[in-house]
């Protein structure tokens, strides 16, 4: 910055690598040619740096944020779109990925019973979903560097790093370890390290979140890349580049998730939830029955999707719950472990309940 230009209300910028080139624009947004000057400055900077105008603008917007890009792609072209239910799942996966990493910064462990730490939720609330970008389907999450004021270091040398930077670094490291262990066929070593090293950044919750980025119909892969806020130094010890999770990696990640859980067994209980999808068939008697997908609230606070085959009378109740706002269901059955949607078998009771009954039951619990 040329200090002599400040009294004239101008920003004048020089760079030793580009002798003879200056960037000049007004300091005051009220200046008559402010918009034109900014646009011209961006165009010049894009040419000088040999990157696109859009990238320059994106970097400026995210100057105070660490950004994570989740790129979904498959062998066939998405044609700029993905199925709506999968889009919802991907957004949920991005949020859970950030929550799991933040919880691992605060309390490193192989499994977090609940992703409910206040600082983690504060970071998620401050994060922003940016416009999708070119390149199949890119979901971009920008995390403001000053979103959370907490001073719990991940490593001794990172005491001064903001919580956001430590969270995004934790995610970067955990994904790198995960992919490296799959490609080197050393999953058991990874699990042993994660379950014995109290500072290890990988958790079952992160693995579960990553599996939500996969769709059986699309058979997609996932690229994850990171850009760092310009207001503090970028991490120098971290490898650069994209972390690529190929489509055949997702079942292996599910294996790791199961092994990181304290124990996972069939869970027989009464569950409360909502009806999400109806996939039953019409019987000869003119009544529908068959598969229904539910969103069940587990006692520890997690919401999981589960499939159950309902008899005609209960299927009619499920249809009513699906079509009626504020209507929930209560079901007793055996919930199997594994990837979502899970399997719910041996159900013995299926009832409709109101939202107020759900609140009453949660309060009594």
Q: Report the pLDDT value the prediction gives residue 132, as an integer from 0 to 100.
A: 67
Are residues 192 and 69 both part of a single domain? yes
Domain of residue 346: give its range.
Answer: 267-364
The pair of three-digit structure tokens given for residue 68, joined into one six-digit string: 């994570």
Are residues 57 and 71 both part of a single domain? no
Q: Report the pLDDT value the prediction gives residue 365, as an integer from 0 to 100.
A: 46
Are residues 92 and 17 both part of a single domain? no
Instruction: Please give the model's pTM, rounded to 2 decimal places.
Output: 0.70
Q: How many distinct structural domains can be found in the chain? A: 3
Are residues 244 and 279 both part of a single domain? no
Are residues 201 and 321 both part of a single domain? no
Percent of the chain past pLDDT 70, that is, above it, reads 88
234, 260, 286: which is the final residue of a domain?
Answer: 260
- CA–CA distance from 264 to each of 255, 301, 342 (Å)? 12, 16, 13
Are residues 56 and 105 both part of a single domain? no
Q: Report the pLDDT value the prediction gives residue 53, as an integer from 0 to 100.
A: 83
Are residues 97 and 198 both part of a single domain? yes
Low-confidence ranges of the chain (pLDDT < 70): 77-80, 132-136, 151-160, 238-240, 263-267, 300-301, 338, 358-365
In angstroms, rounded to a whole number, what is the distance separating the alpha carbons of residues 355 and 362?
Answer: 11
Are residues 165 and 235 both part of a single domain? yes
Q: Report the pLDDT value the prediction gives residue 266, as an integer from 0 to 100.
A: 59
Q: Report the pLDDT value the prediction gives residue 217, as an integer from 0 to 100.
A: 83
- CA–CA distance from 190 to each of 106, 111, 198, 203 (Å)? 21, 14, 13, 11
């Amino acid at each position: 910055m040329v200090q002599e230009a400040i009294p004239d209300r101008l920003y004048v910028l020089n760079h030793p690598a580009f002798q003879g080139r200056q960037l000049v624009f007004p300091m005051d947004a009220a200046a008559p040619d402010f918009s034109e000057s900014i646009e011209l400055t961006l165009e010049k900077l894009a040419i000088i740096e040999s990157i696109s105008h859009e990238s320059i603008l994106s970097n400026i917007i995210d100057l105070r944020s660490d950004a994570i890009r989740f790129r979904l792609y498959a062998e066939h072209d998405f044609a700029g779109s993905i199925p709506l239910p999968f889009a919802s799942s991907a957004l949920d996966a991005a949020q859970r990925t950030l929550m799991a990493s933040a919880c691992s910064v605060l309390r490193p462990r192989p499994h977090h019973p609940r992703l409910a730490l206040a600082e983690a939720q504060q970071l998620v609330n401050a994060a922003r979903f940016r416009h999708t970008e070119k390149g199949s389907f890119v979901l971009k999450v920008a995390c403001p560097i000053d979103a959370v004021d907490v001073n719990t270091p991940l490593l001794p040398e990172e005491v001064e790093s903001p919580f956001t930077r430590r969270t995004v670094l934790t995610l970067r490291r955990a994904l790198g370890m995960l992919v490296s262990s799959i490609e080197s066929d050393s999953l058991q070593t990874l699990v042993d390290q994660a379950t014995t090293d109290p500072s290890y950044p990988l958790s079952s919750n992160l693995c579960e979140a990553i599996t939500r980025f996969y769709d059986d119909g699309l058979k997609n892969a996932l690229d994850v890349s990171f850009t760092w806020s310009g207001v503090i130094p970028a991490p120098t010890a971290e490898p650069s580049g994209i972390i690529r999770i190929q489509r055949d990696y997702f079942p292996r990640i599910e294996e790791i998730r199961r092994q990181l859980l304290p124990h996972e067994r069939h869970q027989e209980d009464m569950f409360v939830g909502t009806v999400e999808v109806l996939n039953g068939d019409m019987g000869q008697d003119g009544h529908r029955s068959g598969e229904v997908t539910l969103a069940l609230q587990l006692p520890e606070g997690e919401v999981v999707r589960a499939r159950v085959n309902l008899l005609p009378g209960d299927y009619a109740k499920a249809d009513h719950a699906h079509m009626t706002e504020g209507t929930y269901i209560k079901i007793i059955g055996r919930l199997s472990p594994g990837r979502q949607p899970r399997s719910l078998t041996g159900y013995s009771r299926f009832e409709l309940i109101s939202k107020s009954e759900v609140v009453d039951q949660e309060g009594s619990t």
